[in-house]
Chain A
């Protein structure tokens, strides 16, 4: 593989563009940031400096515009990194320009999370296709190290390993190699859970679902707050894409609830539309931060009141708080009642769905792959961490009880050995109290 020294970032004014410029420069590359005009690219550069908390990182960066600088800089680049809007027509236009002038062995990568790598690869000539793949960084890329690498059928297989190796060693990424299937691994698994919670919120309420499937179940942030953070429109794009283009055992979990469609149509996209909100709306009253919560049935927001504590959840949190994770999850597994049933349905649904994405014809090859992207892309307890902490036999029993498919990874697990084998990872970090 060509040594990567010079990188061109297309769409450098966006969050992912600026963030990836930061990641590449931090690894010692010279980075050309391109946008519609140089002033926009300069804004991207400044944003990258903010992420690195360093002005000097700018010494590795140059800025330019598509009109004046694209052809010349692409011709000199070792890696062309595309972070344009998620619109195939726009991407096609730029890839058409890139394929004409790039070096025959330069790498072309897209940060896209929603479009088919195969479709994009087809835009350029044979050499372009051979050197084209997805490098899906998560937002913000300077903080979230989980990264997906997505070759398509025509990507030169000799490139994949050195690219993964480079991303890990030089750019500090934790990499999962995925097949080119809708939403790849992280978003396929993650948004299945998020959308299922959004569906359940229609009947059970937003704040209640965020409490019942909250951080104690192995995540840094409650699910619907997470959707507010990523944006309801982005959420819709991902789940619609999976719903339309896949058929699997959890197909119905990707159907976007009608009330979410209504919110989006009315411009309630989450944190980025702060005044309108999403599942929650933040406000300042008498100098105090308060939150309003959406009622999915009426579409109205009401002032947030504390959710009535559920004893098993409080008990689980108490044990997490002092580092007794196994005992905590035992309580979670053995608890009785509607809340416990709901929470287990989502959590064991997650474990089952995630590990079912492993294997021939599936999204990833090894359980480790899905573990890495859920742990370091989403900050969720990886599925095998949950299985280890709960116990593999018990996990299988719970999955069966929920009427779900038992993944082969669990059914064939050797007794007495942990499934999660990632070195130097404290599993306690995934369980917040």
Chain B
């Protein structure tokens, strides 16, 4: 499913590159027409404005939340902090633990049942317990994001480590590589594409995890703001929160994609070519000398 999303995004990105001004204009026109339809439908009584606010009202609310009242910034910052800290801590823990477990067969055997049990448990179910333990502040939300972000990197790293080719391991051994060298020069880089895929999955669920945690119980964050506006039937402002989250989600997706292309460059043809030139530049003097 994540792969599907990636492929679609790639396709969209490719389509984007092909666009001329005409296509941009068409997109804009279609978008404005849709908004116009929505506006008319709401004004004409086809849509209940209680739940589907007027697009024009949403625009006004955007201006209010971001500029005049400017109250969304604090909550947005809160949520982003929870996501960032929870993601970094959770995935670091997942990857780190997987690396240790992957290096020692015995540890993996004994840990396996617990991993299976924990993986079967919906992470968010632990949410209320975590909040009870860590309070209503951002700490408990961060811990929940951490839990949400732990498993995908953990499982993927473990799989990546286990899938190293036997002949490649024999090759390292025949060169008398130490355990550490085999790890840093073969197993870790070999597992990187899988690790990155795990990180992308984790990041995709991190924002959702933070939101649900804020819904459960909190006093700050976009989730809290969204719940408050919905509770007071201020739907235009609620939609501003939703669209803000859309933007944030898109930003996160795109930056993870960029990071992926940078780190596991060898899975991408264009990046591989660029890296070839970068590496060649470092050897310039020697090459001139050797191939003179």
Q: Does A pair with B? A: no
